[in-house]
Amino acid sequence: MNEQIINALQRAIGVKKVLLGADVSSRYEHIWTMDVPLNAMAVVLPSTTTEVSAIMKICYAHDQPVVVHGGLTNLVGSTKTQSNEVVISTERLNQIEEVDAGSRTMVVQAGVILETIQQKAKDKELLFPLNFGAKGSAQIGGIISTNAGGLRVFRYGMTRNLVLGLEVVLADGTIISSMKKIIKDNSGYDLKQLFIGSEGTLGIITKAVLKLVEAPKSRNSAWIGLTSYKKVIQLLKFLNKGLAGTLSGFELVWQSTFKALTSPPASVKSPLPYDYPYYVLVETLGSHQQKDLETLQALLETAMNDKLIAEAAIAFTESDLNWFWQIREDVHVMIGACQNNQQYDISIPIPEIGKYVKKIVKKLFEIPEVNLVYPLGHVADGNIHFSIGKTKQSKKLIHQINKTIYKPLKKLGGSISAEHGIGWDKKTYLSFSRSPEEISLMKTLKKSMDPKGLLNKGKVI
Ligand SMILES: Cc1cc2nc3c(=O)[nH]c(=O)nc-3n(C[C@H](O)[C@H](O)[C@H](O)COP(=O)(O)OP(=O)(O)OC[C@H]3O[C@@H](n4cnc5c(N)ncnc54)[C@H](O)[C@@H]3O)c2cc1C
């Protein structure tokens, strides 16, 4: 049977685009496990939507499960691969097909890397505002499939707010092409939204129309030290009002995390002393570098005089900006310090975050094996990440920590995943943030769009 499928795939897209044996095991299923050989039946490398469709027609006819590999940067085990699966890698769907300055759109194939998209937009004096630490590896297909968030959601929204059109291949090979550049389209259901954030379980994204914005003419940032969580929320409100729509980032880092991000092995030092329980990194994107800098400076002076903030360091040069953002973006330093690491990205209403984190950190340290807890997050979006280190690894321990973090969320109206998705790792906990009726509707959708359960089997639901 395997031979039959492989022969059919080779005939459909060419022998060179179907990797087998050693060519499969020289690959991996995640950028953090490059030393673990990929175990899959075959890896296929389509370079057009028609080829993806041909692959799916063959897989559908043979009941062959597939898993899509994008940039392999997800944090929820969603590219985990079984030995009987065919991997569809989108690395050769890597063309930017068009930048339309008039409609402020970019047409991209699924395998284009985020940083390439950002640079292309910049070259045309436009901005693709999505930004996060894995931008050098994450591909737009994977980003859309996970509805990634990141560092500027507060101002520009999640990925779903930045996608105008999509081309998708369904489980049976049908191509759904809805590549419109228009912002408003209420002609029936907004089908593209079904595929955004569904982690490759409903269809394979091959192309997208992305929404761009005019490039800002100024970018300013500051690291700010604060003495209480209450003041963090007050500062958010104060800056949001005072900056008249130019506030684009408001990242909160707890003291222990800030220390880990700014001391060896981190290559960057801290711009502030380690005296404060909370550190906030703000970003403004505006229209006049000097004036916007002065506005931010004046607001921070007022905040300091009013004892709202304790101390601030402003970025005065491009190299300061890179330094400040490197602190926030180089989270691998913090993650690397955590042995047997567990990652979280939960969402709760902003006013609840301070109390919740305090309580959870205390509870986590009561677990004898837990030795490191690093909280930080996109607090303006109500999104907090935890990185947890522990001296041992066991299923029981993982579950105990998961329950500690997830259990209070329902009552608080929160979510077990703000932006990373459910994938493989969080599937058991979906009911902590979704009702039985919601999960049942998800299952109905999955069944009607992928009746044989071939796409990313075992992920999400
Ligand atoms: C250092 C670091 C920082 C990060 N920061 C953030 C952050 O701030 N915000 C955030 O939201 N995420 C963040 N992430 C998580 C990750 O980068 C995102 O989830 C990203 O969107 C995944 O893109 P990818 O191309 O790597 O997808 P992959 O990991 O390859 O795949 C992710 C999922 O999408 C599916 N998929 C991939 N391509 C397609 C396609 N074309 N069609 C259908 N399904 C597809 C896969 O099967 C899988 O289920 C971070 C990760 C790292 C390592």
* pLDDT tens digit sequence for 365-413: 999 999 999 999 999 999 999 999 999 999 999 999 999 999 999 999 9
- Kindly report the number of other CB atoms within 10 A of residue 219's CB atom: 20
Q: pLDDT for 295-324, tens place per residue? A: 999 999 999 999 999 999 999 999 999 999
Ligand 1 contacts CB of residue 52 (under 6 A): no
Tokens of 411: 């009552």
Pocket test residue of 33, 34, 51, 68 for ligand 1, highest count of atoms within 8 A of CB: 68
Strand partners, 249: 283
Closest C-alpha residue for ligand 1 atom 9 = 150
Going by C-alpha positions, the residue among 426, 427, 331 that lies closest to residue 385 is 331
pLDDT grade, residue 326 (50/70/90)? very high
What is the pLDDT averaged over residues 4-30?
A: 98
Q: Give me the helices (H) in 306-420, please.
A: 318-329, 332-337, 353-365, 395-406, 409-412
CA angle 400, 404, 406 (to 5 degrees): 110
Mutate to test the pocket of ligand 1, among 132, 175, 250 (most ligand atoms within 8 A of CB): 132
Indicate the residue type of 191.
Answer: L
Q: Tens of pLDDT along 66-79?
A: 999 999 999 999 99
Task: Specify whether the CB–CB gap between 321 and 251 falls below 8 A.
Answer: no
Question: Ligand 1: does its nearest atom lie under 6 Å from the Cβ of 110?
Answer: yes
Give the percent of the chain with pLDDT over 70. Answer: 100
Token pair listed for 145: 């499939």
Q: Respond yes or no on whether the N-terminal peptide bond of residue 408 is cis (omega within 30° of 0).
A: no
Q: Is ligand 1 within 6 A of the CB of residue 152?
A: no
CB 107 within 8 Å of CB 208: yes
Whole-model pTM: value is: 0.94
* DSSP summary character for residue 160: G
Verify whether ligand 1 is closer than 6 Å to residue 108 (CB atom): no
Which residue has the least CA distance to atom 44 on ligand 1?
200
Q: Residue 420's pLDDT band (boundaries 50, 70, 90)?
A: very high
Average pLDDT, the chain: 97
pLDDT tens digits, one per residue of 168-218: 999 999 999 999 999 999 999 999 999 999 999 999 999 999 999 999 999
Q: Is 141 in the pocket of ligand 1 (CB under 6 A)?
A: yes
Whole-number Å distance, alpha carbon 215 to ligand 1 midpoint, is 25
For ligand 1, say whether the CB of 334 is within 6 Å of any of its atoms: no
Stretch 97-126: mean pLDDT: 97
Q: What single DSSP character describes residue 113?
A: B
Mean pLDDT of 283-287: 96
Q: From the alpha carbon of 205, which atom of ligand 1 is closest?
A: 42
Q: What is the mean pLDDT of residues 89-95?
A: 98
pLDDT, position 65:
98
Per-residue pLDDT for 1 more than 80? no
Residue 278 sits at the vertex; the CA angle it makes with 296 and 392, to the nearest 5 degrees, is 140
Tokens, residue 187:
């002609």
Domains annotated for the chain, with CATH where assigned, are: 2-91 (3.30.43.10), 96-214 (3.30.465.10), 218-329 (3.30.70.2190), 338-447 (3.30.70.2740)
